[in-house]
Structures are given as structure tokens and as C-alpha cells.
Structure 1
């Protein structure tokens, strides 16, 4: 008889019953339970209680029995609510009893309470049950914090730290492939895992939470009701508890990583794991299985008749083969995510950096992707012609069908979104290695569909990782991987698939690409894997993955994991969020409601109106996610939704907003800052809500100071919406619905040098045009009257971006003042540094007005306006009548005004306007040399105009051409307007933050549009 058989207890049921009575004073029905080393009897006592009587293997050192006793006693004391066995004392009051077998071998006895339940192995092992198991193990291990016993420091092959001993048992594995499989896991364990185990926290753990030692509630299989058998408990790394439970839970489980994730999630909720522990979990699961199959193989010769040893060997091999086929990086990502960690270190840092820096990224296409009219390519629709058919091939006519569709609907860019469920992935390559009987169907990249040969560029600097050709049908074709390491961001990789093979000879691994550098071209079907031309763009925050390891299509069960590991590249590519989700009413419904609810003469721009939903910097984004370069709406002077303005507005609005009858710092601070930008004579400010209110207040000031009404205004000028301002705006009263000038209104000629009589010397234009004002003064004086005021925009805008000839205002101001009138400079459109060289456009004429009005750009979109005048005019206005404006000068508006001034000064936006404006003017003049239709280019800073004519000699207006260019630019994503008496002047007033890159985009669109309109109109 061998030693093991001598030490293994072999008591009959009658003998065990006698032991129960002798040592515990109990009687009842006993039944034998299966066990490998000890002998266990279920006791149904006469008093109705149920117990387990354990006869301990004689080979077990006493210290181990004492250890188990101490462990269970500790748990009973500190976590008595846990459903684990509790020790029943002997008649002598001890925890253990002793007896001698018929062979003379001494055995120890332990009686513990029966834990009711059904073995987890006999249930479906639901995700809820496994998570409940994790929580149970977490609570159990947490209860043992601080517990230690000499018996816990024993040497067991089942100690995860000793898993490397499996190498000594490999000789018992007869199949070479199986042996090689185990060697792969052992090599990794020895090289990468074992050295790290010593650094992990350790504690006393159960160490054998297999699905026979775990019980579930008989009526609720989702709830763990008990944990039994503490024979393998020891001091070991804490994470081993989760690994061992997961190893057994994964046997015959269709989704072993899902099972592990459920256990880890539950455990983490009770006993928080550390990232470095979770990162080893996959390897430790594998090594528990390696230990199991090698121990089983080594014992098989003399224990073949013991089914307990082999009960899990076959499924263990099956699971090992599954784990071997898995990409461990993906498995680790799943487990990290289950515990609330990033799927890979740095994941959230990468996505946050891209989001924070998206405005600075270079365009991925020749123009920013959001500027192209785009549409979804519904690969998820099996009936769509672009979809791969059931044989795994894409129809040859797919590209032609797509191109026809684009032409018909005006689409320039097709987008296949991240995360889309697709039926097209039919090949064997798309079968999941993580989940049985599952296909990978969720797209993990961003597809951009354009014509073959379309160039694509890297949005940020990169190092080429690899350039290769994937030959598989429906593969990537030419595949490029770039590594990005921007400052302040964890490194990440971008993957560029379905590219043309030309890149193979142009770039190679190790090459450096700067932001905006060419990556490659979209490939044709013959070289891109057989697909319609498009770019598959994908990001990976795990830089250890090779290009072919990056998962382009993933399992739907783990979409939340893939979202972190392979984040959506939409922001990296420059696609606006609005492309994916529309909000609010449809265009037709809004138009209908406007007609029903609003004044009918409230106009809408463009034949096909645009619904803008967001503004950002120089861009306006519509409800389809298309971005338009805003070169027209000069209200948002320093850019749409400027953060400084938003912050100042929100902060003050959250604190206080009231009227000017109470004291507040903001109004005087703003008045001080604003008047400091003006000539010293202009010292007194009044605040209102709009440019129209500012001009109305200016007229009140004028009347109080001069006592007159007579006005001198320029032809085709516009000064506001109130009736008294309509009366001095020829742009309104001389057009449809207008009633002509009133008797007090005198209209002078527009001082347009481009259309001055040919016999006027250029240096005399100012003086000659001023004669028109002199004539109007003479008309008044002939009636015994005089002018009350002269008003003009410092650069007439509605008249066609007209720049006043040198000396004009000096002469006009002299004439008006000598006749007793005041001079009003309307800077509502052109002020606040737009001309670049000066704060105010009137300064370019070397004059100082009596009154300056300002609005539009003053609040970057916030309703704020102002009048600044001299002390003399102010004294005349202070005639006893109170001036009060409910909202004018309120704390919020003044906070906004201060923020605008801070940005203009702090970012030197005047200098920017001058530099970018000069660049645009010189570029427009270069275009003028190529296009006869451009009669005149004029501008100052970022106030620009291009006048179009059918003949440069006659200067006949090219109205149709101008409107076609404006509409064509709009179709290409750039907003501008047409102005002038003949609507033939292209009008551009971009935000002051307009960059050279923005200017180049505008120029590219103008070039394309001019060429297109010329082809169409001749």
C-alpha cells in the first residue's frame, strides 16, 4: 500500500457515525461526499441541523489544520454574515478532534456547519451569478485583511507563484502541439509575469474558488449562497483569488473573458483591485490552467480511477487553446474596463487631448473635412448597393453607383461611422476569438469615401511605424500606421487603410511627417482590398499593437471597450458632432412657422436656407455637421463663442445683472478702457443695446447740441432700423417700400474712387467728392438753414466696401463744422481694430469726429453698443432730462465688452488683421491678373471687397457673376455677401482671429468658384 493510500482516511459510514457521537454527541444520517485527499460526510443530524464531518488526511501537517481552524474562526468573528462553514466545537470544547484508523494512522476531525446551495458547476453560470461570486470573494478576502497564520505560508504547487513548476511536468504531455502550447504560456510567465508577482500585494486567500466550491441559491441561481472547502487557502497575491475563480468559471463558457470580467467587476466593488494586478489577470488565469493540466497529467498513471482529478482536464485544454488564440492585449483591455480602469493606459488622455486641440489640427483632406457636403454610407443596410454581397464580394458597379448618388445629391464626402453594425463582414477573418459562435460586426474605424486618388494628410506630426500591403480579399490593401507623440498627450497610433500602393515607394518606417504632410491617396478597388475607394481611419491608444493587430471590426458585446482602445477618429479627422445627430425642427417646418409667426418681411439668406446650430471661432456649423468658413458675419468680431467672452458672460450673469441706477465697477471700468482707445477729445460714453440705438442716441445728442434736424448722409448708406434712421438711410428709403428722402435729409454722393470721373486726378478725389457735401450745405443755406450733422460709415459698407479717398473726411468735417453742424462717425461695422492699422477706421483719415457710434463687433455677438462723444456735446445733452436705458451698460454687457478688449489687445488681433488682410489683398490682386471680371480689389485689414465687372473700361457691373460666386462659395462652405448699388461687390468681413490657413482656404474656394462660374457664364 503506497503512502498516499495509508494517509488517506477510509472510514465506513457506521464508523463515521460513531465518531460523530463520540466526539460531538450528535446522531443522524450520514452520506459520503466526493473528495481528493480527505474524507467528507454530510451529516443530517437528528436535531434538524446539517453539518459536514471532515476526516483530515493524515499527511496534512497539524499546522495546516490549525490554520484552517484559525481562518474560519477569524471570519466568524469579523464577517459572521458570510455564508461559509462555521466550526462546531467538540464535546470537550475544542475545534478539532482526533481518532485512529484501523491501520493505526492518526487522523484529525472537524465538524462544520452545512452551507446550503447548489454547486455553481450545475447551473448556467450567468453573468449575474459570476459577478455575485466576485463580490463574495471580495468580501471574504476583505474580512481576512490583517489575518496571518504560520500555516498560510506553506509550499503548494497550487500556489500561483509556483506555476512555473509546471515546466517540470511537461514530460507527461505526450502531444507535441499541446506541449508547445504550454511552453508558450510558461515562457511568458517566467519572463514577464513571475518577476512582477513579488511586487504585488499579498494576503490570505481562499485559493480554490472552483465552481464546485461555490454554491448558488437553489431558487435564485444568480445569487451566490456559499463558499466552501478551505483546504487550499494560503498566503498569496490577492489577484490570484480572481484568477483562480475565473479559470474555473471560464471552462466550457462561450465567453471566458466576459465571465472573468463579471467576477473581476464584482470583486473590485468589494475589494478594489490595482491596475498592475488586473494587467496580470489574463496570464494568471492561463497559468492556473497550465498547473491544472500538468498536475493531472503527472498523476494520471496511478489515479486513473479517480474521476475527481480529471473532471476539468478536457475543458481546461479547450480554454487554454482559446486563450492562446486571443490577443492578450484585448483581453486585458476588457478586464481593465470591467474594473473601471482605462482600457489601456492613456486612453482618456488621448481622447481629451484631441478634443482640446481639435481647432489646431491640420485638415485631413485638402480642405477641412467638415466643410464638404457629406452623407452617411449605410453599410449597415444590407440592401444598400455599396454593401458587400453574401459571397463576400462588393459589386463591381459599387463605385459608379456611389458616384452617381453623390452627383445627384450634391455629396462630396461619404462617411462610414465608428461603431456601425454591419452585415458585410462575411469572411472567416471576422469570426470572434473572444466569444464562441459570434462574428465581429461593429466597425471600429471611420470610413471617408471619396474618389480614388484623393490625397489624405496627417492632422498632427507623426513617425511612420509601418507601410505594408495586406493581400487578403476584403482586407486593407495598402496599410499605413503612424505614431503620434504630441506634447502633453500619451502616444497613440493612427491606422490608414485601403490606400493606394504609391505610398510603398514614397514613405517607409522611421520617416518623420510634419502636421499637414501627405500620408497617401485613397486606393482604387484593385489595390485597396476590393472595396469602393475610401479611407479606413482608425486610432489605437495601445501603441504595442502592430498595424495588422489593430482590430478594425469588433464584437458588439465589447463595444464599450473598443471605444476606449480604438476611439472614434471623427474629431481627429475633423468631422463635426452635428453630422451624427440632428436636433430641432426640420428646415421646411421652420420656414413655414416663420411665415406664420414672424414679420413677413424678415428675410432669409440663400434660396436653400441654412440652419446653423453652432458657431466656433471662424466657423459656423449647420444641423448636418457641415462647417462654413464665416467671412461675412462681422458681429462675432473675435470669433464665434469665444471662450473668454463666454466665461465673462457666464461668470457675471451668475453673480449679478442689474441696471445703471446702481453702482457697479464694470460700467466705469469699461468706459475707461473703451475711451482710452479713442482720440483724447472723445471722453464720454453712453451704453445701449444695438447699433441702431447708438445712432438714435447720437441724433439726440446732435439735436441737443445744435438745435437742428438737417442731415447730410451718403448715398446708399444704412444706419439702423428705427424710423428716424431709415429716414437718413438711402439704402432703405430709395429702394422698394421706401418713400424717398424727407425734406431735412440731404444726400451726398458716395465717394467711390473706383467710379470717379476719369478726368479727376487721383490725388483730388477726396476734395472733388467733398464738393457734393458742399452742394448740400449750400442748398440748406439758401433756405436760411444749416446742417445739423453729417453722418457716414468710416468705410461705407452697404455701398460696396467703399474706401474713402485720402483727405475726404478732413474736407467734409471742415465744411460741416464751419456751417455749424457736428460730424458723426458710424463705426458700427468697421470699428474695434478691424482695419488693422488703427482701432477706428476714421483714424485712417486723420480726423476726430464729434460723436462716434459703435455696435456689432463690440460684444462679439452679445447685444451691446455705445456712443462716445466730447465733453462739449455731453454738456449740451445734460439739459435736465434724465437719460436711462434699462439694459444699456448692465454689468453682464460690460463684462463682455471688457473681455473683447482683453482679447483684441492680448492677442494682438489688430496686428493679425493687418497681416492677414494684406496677404488676402495681394492674393486677390493676383487673381485680378487672371480674371478680367475682377475690376477692383479694395480692403484694409479684414474689411475687404472685390468688385466684379463685365468690362474693365466701362465698369459695367457683373451682378450675375457676383451672385454666382457668392452662391458657389456657399456651396463650397464659405460665407460671403454681395453689396453695392448693383450687388456686384463681393463683401468679406471675417473674424479678427482669421489665420493665414483660413485665408488660404478662402482663396482656394474663390479660385475654384471663379473658374467654375467662368465656365458656366462665359
Structure 2
């Protein structure tokens, strides 16, 4: 009998470790062994800069109070290598947010670092009034990755600046002013692009900006009024039911009617353009119904507008199936903007368009065509190809997405799991029936717990209710398993606290 009790206790502990949902109020079992972090063969240098408290004081005195940080005790990062980050005390973290979806091929990727170091010893800067082989070679290489007629490249320094330029081009070429973007969209935080960005926390309170920009309903098949289990281009569909049939998405038709309503009521008869991320990033990796963007693009062109694809977060192979996010929708934009992963974190961005549209506007930027940017951009493209990172995004992203979907089946507070490749969102809810966002204080606890176990996740959504997963594209299956285990452990502990009334 004693042996039987021991065996049952061991089985119960094992069950608790594997399935936090098994825990019941009144149970005394609460055994959690933190997942074992995969090995890393890199040793960081010793931190020898200012002490942590002094850094905090500098932040308080010299940084904008509006710029927030993650975690109660903000991370003081010291060094990075590929998918790993190290803090000032040498603690190691698996980076699953890539500096806000920016580090595409890996922190301090050896090929990119070597190329940058060589160029630093030759020439840092010239300007567009001179020729330099690096930026011309890069333009040729990037242009070869885009379909005709998208071959004319304008170099800029950030995603906001790229989208600024795209707005000016759209208005100059069309002769119209109204531009439409989705609610929940993020296209930048400059005086122009703030009009395109429709996330309340990024809107200024007292300054009118971004005139002649109009919003339209985001066709979100999880949180929006329509959508169900067959609507989006993802291995994992929403748990909402729908009566769509293969090849005919009723939700898509309803969202298109809303888009038409915007065209009929909120803008002039002729418009300048329409901005869309192939998958919304800041809003929590929101995917649209299949076929929506194709129909919306045609409606915009019928009104004299141009269609702009914001590939700042979705481009460069991150979605796995295609190099560019717009390709997954079967569409051809008139203008494409890109930044972030384009240069692995180096300040560089690009606007690409057709020769016809390019003739309509003549911008000038002192830093456009920077030799260092050209060399780094080329090295990033080489790394994506030589390291097979698009293929890795598809393989590891699909593998991880399916494993994460099991968390939704197990935990009532996991409302939706979605995405493509290595751009994944986990939307947290109070319960799956209501789909009400999980309160910020609960999100913060789970977020902190994951960090304490060595996993850095991003946050997104209108209520910061979605965990954003967008690691460097070099991650391995072992590291994906570790991340899923960390999330499972954090959610299990959280459900225990809920059941005990400790939240």
C-alpha cells in the first residue's frame, strides 16, 4: 500500500509538471522544475561599465519619462550572440522578440559583423551625390528579390521615415490626399505616420497630426465581429465557429462590406492610397481573412489610389512560406516599405516602387546610400540565403506554432494562437467564451515569470494582451521546445495562483 501511495504521488507530480490545468483547489502538490535552458557555446565579456543603479538614475534624469521598459526590474543588457542575450551580471536569455522584430539573422551574426568591421575601416559615410559600389550592389541584390515593376529603391533610415516617404509618394502620384489604414495598425510615430498608426497608446493627446488619414475596421477574425475556424492563412485557426465553406469565407465578405462603407463615407471619391501590414505586428500578430487584401487593393485602385505594403516586420523571409508578406496574399503592391530586419538592427530602411511612381516625387536624404548600410544590408541578405533562414523560419515556426496551439487547448486563459513562420501571437483572455483581454497585472506576472526562467517575449495588442513571438530566424527546434516549456510552466503556476485566490 505504501508503494502504491509513493507511485501515485510521483505520477501526480509528473502530471502537474506536464499539465498545469490538472491542478485543483485544495491540492498540496505544487512542484515546478524550471525548464532546462539549451546550451550555448558563447561566453560574454565581463561587464565593466556603470553600475545598475547609476544606469537607472541616468535613465530617470536624461530619458523621456514616456519611454517605458519591460519588467519591474528592467533588464540591463550587455552583449548578444545570435539568438542569445546576456545581462550585466552574465545571465543568459533566449531572445524571442529580437529587439522588437528587428534582429533577423541573429545578434552580432559573424558574417554581418565581419562585413561591417571591414567597411568601418574604409568609409563610413558619403552621400547620394557620390557613387559608391556597396550601396549600388545592394540595390541590385535587393531589387532582384522583388517582382516587376518594383525596382526603384529609395534609401531611408527608419520604418517611420520609409512610411513617411511612401505617403508623400502616394499623394504626389495620385494627386489625392486621403489615405486609409486599419484600426490597430502601426506604421510609425513621426508627425505624418502617426495618422496611419491606430493604436491608442501611440497617439499624442494634444497635438493634431497625420491629417487626411482615415481608419477602417481591422478584419480580425478572433476579436472582430466576424470570423471563425476556416478564415485565415495559418496552420492554427481560431476556436470560433463559422459556417464558411472551402474557398468561400463569409467573414471576408462582411469585412469587405465594412471597407466599402469606409470608402463611401469617410474619404473623397478619389483617394491617395491604402497602407496595410501583411500581418499586423504591434496589434498582436493579427491575420486577415484569406483574400481580403486582394479585394481591398482592387477597391482602392478603382478610386485612383495606390496600395502600400508595410513589410517592416513581415519581410525578409520571417513568414517562412514567402520572402515578402504580400506574396502570401497573392497581391502586388504599388509601393513596399521595409526596415528593422533589413539590416539586422542597423538604422536602415527602404522604399521600393515602380519607375512610374518614382518619377512623381524627388526626395533627398543626406544619409541615403550610406556605404556602411549597403555593406550590412548585403551581408544580411547573404546570411538569409546561405544559412537557410527563410526555410528555418518555415520549419521551426510551423513546429512551434502547432506546439503552442496545445496551450490553448489546455489553458482557459489562452484565447488564440496564430501567425506564420517566426511571427506568432498568443492572445491571452479572461476566459475563452468572453474573449475579454487578460488584465495587465496578470499579463505582467506571466511575462515576468517567463523572463525569470530565461525567455524574453514581446507584448502587443490594443490592451497589451498578446505575447508576441518573433525570435532571430536562426533558432533551433531545441530552443523552440524550451520556449514552449517555459510558457507552459509560467501558465501552470499562474493557474495555481488563480485557483488559490492569490491574484
TM normalised by structure 1 equals 0.42
Write the distance in 1 (CA, Å) between the matches of 2:243 and 2:354: 36
C-alpha contact (below 8 Å) 1:823/1:851 kept by paired residues: yes
Corresponding residue pairs, total: 446
Write the distance in 2 (CA, Å) between the matches of 1:458 and 1:953: 36
Where does residue 614 of structure 1 map in the other structure? Answer: 79
Superposition pairs of residues 4-153 of structure 1, within 5 angstroms: none
1:996 CA drift (Å):
0.6
C-alpha contact (below 8 Å) 1:728/1:741 kept by paired residues: no
Q: Secondary structure at the match of 1:987?
A: strand
Where does residue 523 of structure 1 map in the other structure? Answer: none
Where does residue 958 of structure 1 map in the other structure? Answer: 438
Where does residue 108 of structure 2 map in the other structure? Answer: 641
Superposition pairs of residues 444-843 of structure 1, within 5 angstroms: 576-577=43-44, 581-633=46-98, 634-657=101-124, 658-732=126-200, 737=205, 744-757=212-225, 761-762=243-244, 763-780=249-266, 784-843=268-327
Write the distance in 1 (CA, Å) between the matches of 2:118 and 2:255: 49
Cα displacement string for residues 300-325 of structure 1 (whole angstroms, at most 9, x for unaligned residues):
xxxxxxxxxxxxxxxxxxxxxxxxxx
Matched, 1:992 2:454: no
Q: Secondary structure at the match of 2:270?
A: coil
1:609 CA drift (Å):
0.8
Cα displacement string for residues 217-276 of structure 1 (whole angstroms, at most 9, x for unaligned residues):
xxxxxxxxxxxxxxxxxxxxxxxxxxxxxxxxxxxxxxxxxxxxxxxxxxxxxxxxxxxx
Q: Which of residues 350, 354, 371 in structure 2 aligns to 1:866?
A: 350
C-alpha contact (below 8 Å) 2:35/2:485 kept by paired residues: no
C-alpha contact (below 8 Å) 1:833/1:910 kept by paired residues: yes
Write the distance in 2 (CA, Å) between the matches of 1:666 and 1:632: 30
Q: Secondary structure at the match of 2:155?
A: strand
Q: Which of residues 453, 471, 490 in structure 2 aligns to 1:972?
A: 453
Write the distance in 1 (CA, Å) between the matches of 2:438 and 2:223: 14
1:770 CA drift (Å):
2.5
Write the distance in 2 (CA, Å) between the matches of 1:455 and 1:958: 25
1:833 CA drift (Å):
0.5
Write the distance in 2 (CA, Å) between the matches of 1:744 and 1:457: 50
1:654 CA drift (Å):
0.9
Q: Which of residues 481, 491, 496 in structure 2 aligns to 1:1015?
A: 496
RMSD: 2.5
Write the distance in 2 (CA, Å) between the matches of 1:698 and 1:850: 10
Write the distance in 2 (CA, Å) between the matches of 1:998 and 1:671: 34
Write the distance in 2 (CA, Å) between the matches of 1:862 and 1:772: 39
Write the distance in 2 (CA, Å) between the matches of 1:458 and 1:747: 44
1:740 CA drift (Å):
7.5
Write the distance in 1 (CA, Å) between the matches of 2:35 and 2:443: 31
1:756 CA drift (Å):
3.7
1:736 CA drift (Å):
6.6
1:716 CA drift (Å):
1.8
Q: Which runs of 5+ in 1 are unaligned?
A: 1-411, 413-450, 460-570
1:685 CA drift (Å):
0.6
1:456 CA drift (Å):
9.9
C-alpha contact (below 8 Å) 1:780/1:787 kept by paired residues: no
Where does residue 131 of structure 1 map in the other structure? Answer: none
C-alpha contact (below 8 Å) 2:35/2:453 kept by paired residues: no
Superposition pairs of residues 240-639 of structure 1, within 5 angstroms: 576-577=43-44, 581-633=46-98, 634-639=101-106
Matched, 1:918 2:389: no
Where does residue 424 of structure 2 map in the other structure? Answer: 944
Distance change in 2, residues 1:902/1:738 (3 Å):
farther
C-alpha contact (below 8 Å) 1:733/1:741 kept by paired residues: no
TM normalised by structure 2 equals 0.83
Matched, 1:900 2:380: yes
1:952 CA drift (Å):
1.5
1:937 CA drift (Å):
1.0
C-alpha contact (below 8 Å) 2:270/2:304 kept by paired residues: yes
Superposition pairs of residues 849-860 of structure 1, within 5 angstroms: 849-860=333-344
Distance change in 2, residues 1:839/1:587 (3 Å):
same
Write the distance in 1 (CA, Å) between the matches of 2:471 and 2:211: 38
Write the distance in 2 (CA, Å) between the matches of 1:904 and 1:824: 24
1:843 CA drift (Å):
0.8
Q: Secondary structure at the match of 1:952?
A: coil
> Structure 1 stretch 619-628 or stretch 697-706: which is displaced more?
697-706
1:732 CA drift (Å):
4.5
Q: Secondary structure at the match of 2:359?
A: helix
1:738 CA drift (Å):
6.0
Distance change in 2, residues 1:650/1:455 (3 Å):
closer
Write the distance in 1 (CA, Å) between the matches of 2:414 and 2:62: 42
Q: Secondary structure at the match of 1:755?
A: coil
Cα displacement string for residues 733-789 of structure 1 (whole angstroms, at most 9, x for unaligned residues):
7757366886622111111111243586541223322222222211246xx542211
Q: Secondary structure at the match of 1:849?
A: coil
Write the distance in 2 (CA, Å) between the matches of 1:903 and 1:835: 16
1:1011 CA drift (Å):
0.8
Write the distance in 2 (CA, Å) between the matches of 1:972 and 1:640: 20
C-alpha contact (below 8 Å) 1:733/1:739 kept by paired residues: no
Write the distance in 2 (CA, Å) between the matches of 1:595 and 1:737: 22
C-alpha contact (below 8 Å) 1:765/1:806 kept by paired residues: no
Write the distance in 2 (CA, Å) between the matches of 1:906 and 1:744: 44
C-alpha contact (below 8 Å) 1:750/1:799 kept by paired residues: no
C-alpha contact (below 8 Å) 2:179/2:271 kept by paired residues: yes
Distance change in 2, residues 1:652/1:735 (3 Å):
closer
Between structure 1 and structure 2, the one with the greater Rg is 1
Distance change in 2, residues 1:757/1:721 (3 Å):
closer
- Tell me: higher relative CO, structure 1 or 2? Use CA pairs within 8 A at least 6 residues apart: 2
C-alpha contact (below 8 Å) 2:398/2:421 kept by paired residues: yes
Where does residue 886 of structure 1 map in the other structure? Answer: 366
Write the distance in 2 (CA, Å) between the matches of 1:922 and 1:742: 40
1:678 CA drift (Å):
1.5
Higher percent of residues as strand: 1
Q: Secondary structure at the match of 1:867?
A: strand
Q: Secondary structure at the match of 1:804?
A: coil
C-alpha contact (below 8 Å) 1:664/1:891 kept by paired residues: yes
Distance change in 2, residues 1:818/1:1011 (3 Å):
same
1:927 CA drift (Å):
2.0
C-alpha contact (below 8 Å) 2:393/2:473 kept by paired residues: yes
